[in-house]
Structure 1
């Protein structure tokens, strides 16, 4: 029998609309048309101008045959076209695939083919690797060149049209439509995973909307923040901050390359209020000469993820007037989906105790339903004793649709009605989660995920290698770097330099081992490599538990 509250009270266009972050830019352009939206070198672009360019981009893409369910890939640094792509591409109903600019041609080619990219927008800086990738592709997308005036390095035009000319061909009054269903895909992001080929994580409009709003709530972000793009927008769509900044009619301060001097100069010049990044970004600022930090007399809020902030970082940032918030997440949950919420009484504790509390992965984001620690076998919560380990699991709206063209992996990831992160953790009595280990053999270096198996596969291609294993080695600059343990075939000889050179020929630079150790690789009686023993040798287990 129906409830009285179900009779004659149907959902309709007047009382229900699908959630989408595309509405944020429409509102900001209408309410704050003349407020600054983008700063890039000499460029100053308002919200009305940015909205018009996004509509032009959508119009031009539509005229090129891009529509609902198509994929538009971009290989761009943190520049205005990257901001515009986050709105212009989904305005057509298409899906934005922001490619990692640090990847090798083979990986990029796989992503373009797997994601069935119909269009590729590429910055001239990356024309070389993109040209090589396109030569490996089975399909040929429409290629659009971005010739950023702030870039003066090498590169060539490899496309059929330049971006500004392409955008100029579109209509500024293009009548885009919001998604008919908020479950519609908005973005595709590839993550390393534990197998050679990356998995394509699919985001929906609802999740992008809600995580963008959650970012505002976690930071108590007021109107018109000035946000510096130290975090790559290709990484989990910049943790959804392109949409967050639009929702608050803030300023996108673009940054092509992470550099301490450039970051501090921009913070000082534009009164930057917020930025995000892996620990290495914050460490760069701490290590910068005092003269570069001079003149920054306003408070700056920073988010850190990828590794827990150590006491020295927290103390150093406080002395600079920077306030750090520690967040945790994965590509599958739109970047950060939990936060180490600080309590006022923590301020009275010594720096060591504050660092210990801030090192935890914390509690759920406002608009995520839950983050917890479960026994992966029984799917029951572990005791909240800070000692019993289980697996971190998420549930809620800020969780991916699934993995593209990989129903098996999707089903495994969502087994039991929770998203399985693969990260092992404990639950503290106050409800805060703390990572203890990683069940996936992922190395997080400078905020980038590296699959140890991918590196091992390359090592095994060397004719002198009999057995190989790769684990994370603590690194003061990058957090972690790959360390290769190599067992040679009888009678074979090879130097560490030759091993590294071999890896460089097949891997992106950041995936190449920074250390090579020769000797017998420890194995079980059945021949399985004992990685825990290798982690102990390099101190990786202790590093994860900072």
Structure 2
């Protein structure tokens, strides 16, 4: 633990939010920060590059950020954007704007200037706080964003860009007195944050979170991951992605320590796990494959580490490999529209007696709702009737309750379409097992329909991942004159090894129906998002360029 490195700062005035009545309270993540600052004032809240910020100081810095935003004209309901990697300033941004009732817009640092400009304009953001390494991106978008009135630079590894007017972040905070209290949003159903989707089928949509939803989902994360005040959480998941799956609030809720990480590099991840005694982290399956494929994995001991994985269904092979290094995998599922994860492959007593292969198989299912969400999860057909629990009949996953977004910002039509029938439609296809656990088969747009037969690309991917020479794989439907479309596999060999297409095809045909096996294989790197999720649409669009997608006998 890090207590011997922490200096004791004077405890700032902590205002515990008052309740509207004796029996109710406005639910907001600010309650987590206020409680931890009061209960754990000298506990490490944030660790970065060897520097430690206690909860007392973390609270004060959030109050300063809120005051600095107010000093440049930000008020309740105004949107403020942050373009930052996983730095302490980004962690503070998950509390500062809400402290004055403003709305956080966290931006993906890998987006193009055009995409960022669209989000800034669509959200109406008045302030942009950005890392100085991204100054060139900001230069290219400034003329296209007249509504952004203030630019603030965070200096970390790159000198300030002197040609972009505006204060440096630390000087900006120092220029104001911290607010004496954080009042927060007016109601627990106000818009707290806006998270923009990837925009793979058009321009990105702004997903609105509420204080109530964020509060409850953060509690669900902490409970399902088994966190407490001794927890030390490593930021391998971008905070700009669905507000870091609500973990800025979840870790703070239990008084745990945030270990910030600018870039996910395997050697640095393993060093921090070892030197900071990391207990928890989140990562997409492709990030996990990158970690266990790194040279440092050979000597790594992940005993005592709990990893939550989501973003794409993990192959059982990925779960077996990482748990073989000593970690415990918790597989969850969700979308940006559900505050990140909202279901979990919850463990059962009989899992303790399973061998590693069977255990990985059941853990690879998406599971059941988080404990705070009750029964708001269904798998339904086109008539909104529940599909049988036979592990075979596919339907769409729909959700309802506090786990679901408020709506799409300034897009009533898209909101109405997503909420048709009173449930949020995920677009994901799944089966339901007799025990009630759901298992994804595919996104509706990723199902391959070959000669009238439905093929789950994820089923084929899981089989190919069992090949010892495969590190990663993506399967999409490609044009075929006879069948309309057929599976094609894009494979990343493990360790740069040599594989042949026939080897992959034969391996797959030996394990599943021949019509499901890929008809062709291409080797090379895979396109990915900032969170490590494979971008299937890029591969699919390349294959279908100039051709009309012709589906024969769709059964969906």
Normalised-by-shorter TM-score class = 0.7 to 0.9
1:392 aligned to which of 397, 401, 416: 397
Secondary structure in 2 aligned to 1:324? Answer: strand
* 2:327 match: 322
Distance 1:214 1:519 in 2: 41
Aligned pairs for 1:96-495 within 5 A: 96-148=104-156, 151-152=157-158, 158-193=164-199, 195-290=201-296, 293-294=299-300, 296=301, 298-440=303-445, 474-476=490-492
Native 8 Å contact 2:313 2:440 kept in 1: no
Native 8 Å contact 1:145 1:157 kept in 2: no
Gaps of at least 5 residues in structure 2 are: 1-18, 448-456, 459-475, 477-484, 495-524, 526-533
1:133-184 per-residue CA deviation (whole Å, 9 max, x = no partner) reads 2222242331100001xx1489666241000011112223432213331001
* 1:530 match: 550
Distance 2:170 2:545 in 1: 57
- Cα distance, 1:371 vs. partner? 4.5
**After alignment, is 335-344 or 70-79 more displaced?**
335-344
Native 8 Å contact 2:185 2:192 kept in 1: no
**After alignment, is 161-170 or 433-442 more displaced?**
433-442
- Cα distance, 1:418 vs. partner? 0.7
Distance 1:410 1:352 in 2: 41
* 2:462 match: none
The structure-2 alpha-carbon separation of the partners of 1:274 and 1:159, relative to structure 1 and needing over 3 Å to count, comes to: farther
The structure-2 alpha-carbon separation of the partners of 1:218 and 1:157, relative to structure 1 and needing over 3 Å to count, comes to: farther
1:259-297 per-residue CA deviation (whole Å, 9 max, x = no partner) reads 000000000000000000111221122112257744x46
Distance 1:72 1:292 in 2: 44
Native 8 Å contact 2:233 2:281 kept in 1: yes
* 1:52 match: 60
Distance 2:236 2:552 in 1: 34
1:299-327 per-residue CA deviation (whole Å, 9 max, x = no partner) reads 10001112222233222222221100100
Native 8 Å contact 2:100 2:185 kept in 1: no
Distance 1:253 1:281 in 2: 18
- Cα distance, 1:222 vs. partner? 2.3
TM-score (norm 2): 0.78
1:458-513 per-residue CA deviation (whole Å, 9 max, x = no partner) reads xxxxxxxxxxx9x99655499xxxxxxxxxxxxxxxxxxxxx9xxxxxxxx97995
The structure-2 alpha-carbon separation of the partners of 1:532 and 1:227, relative to structure 1 and needing over 3 Å to count, comes to: farther
* 1:495 match: none
2:33 aligned to which of 19, 25, 28: 25
1:423-476 per-residue CA deviation (whole Å, 9 max, x = no partner) reads 1111111001111121246999xxxxxxx9xxxxxxxxxxxxxxxx9x996554
The structure-2 alpha-carbon separation of the partners of 1:271 and 1:106, relative to structure 1 and needing over 3 Å to count, comes to: same
- Cα distance, 1:51 vs. partner? 0.4
The structure-2 alpha-carbon separation of the partners of 1:532 and 1:132, relative to structure 1 and needing over 3 Å to count, comes to: farther
* 1:497 match: none
Gaps of at least 5 residues in structure 1 are: 1-10, 445-451, 453-468, 479-499, 501-508, 524-528, 534-546
1:98-132 per-residue CA deviation (whole Å, 9 max, x = no partner) reads 00111111110000000000101000111111221
- Cα distance, 1:353 vs. partner? 2.1
Native 8 Å contact 1:75 1:99 kept in 2: yes
**After alignment, is 199-208 or 174-183 more displaced?**
174-183
Native 8 Å contact 2:316 2:363 kept in 1: no
Native 8 Å contact 2:86 2:239 kept in 1: yes
Distance 1:53 1:144 in 2: 16
Secondary structure in 2 aligned to 1:367? Answer: helix
The structure-2 alpha-carbon separation of the partners of 1:166 and 1:157, relative to structure 1 and needing over 3 Å to count, comes to: farther
- Cα distance, 1:420 vs. partner? 0.4
Native 8 Å contact 2:320 2:357 kept in 1: no
The structure-2 alpha-carbon separation of the partners of 1:316 and 1:532, relative to structure 1 and needing over 3 Å to count, comes to: farther
Native 8 Å contact 2:42 2:54 kept in 1: yes
The structure-2 alpha-carbon separation of the partners of 1:301 and 1:374, relative to structure 1 and needing over 3 Å to count, comes to: closer
Native 8 Å contact 1:371 1:392 kept in 2: no
1:80 aligned to which of 88, 92, 95: 88
Distance 1:107 1:270 in 2: 36
1:383-420 per-residue CA deviation (whole Å, 9 max, x = no partner) reads 11111111001111111100011111101111111110
Distance 1:290 1:60 in 2: 43
* 2:512 match: none
- Cα distance, 1:12 vs. partner? 4.7
Secondary structure in 2 aligned to 1:370? Answer: coil
Native 8 Å contact 1:425 1:434 kept in 2: yes
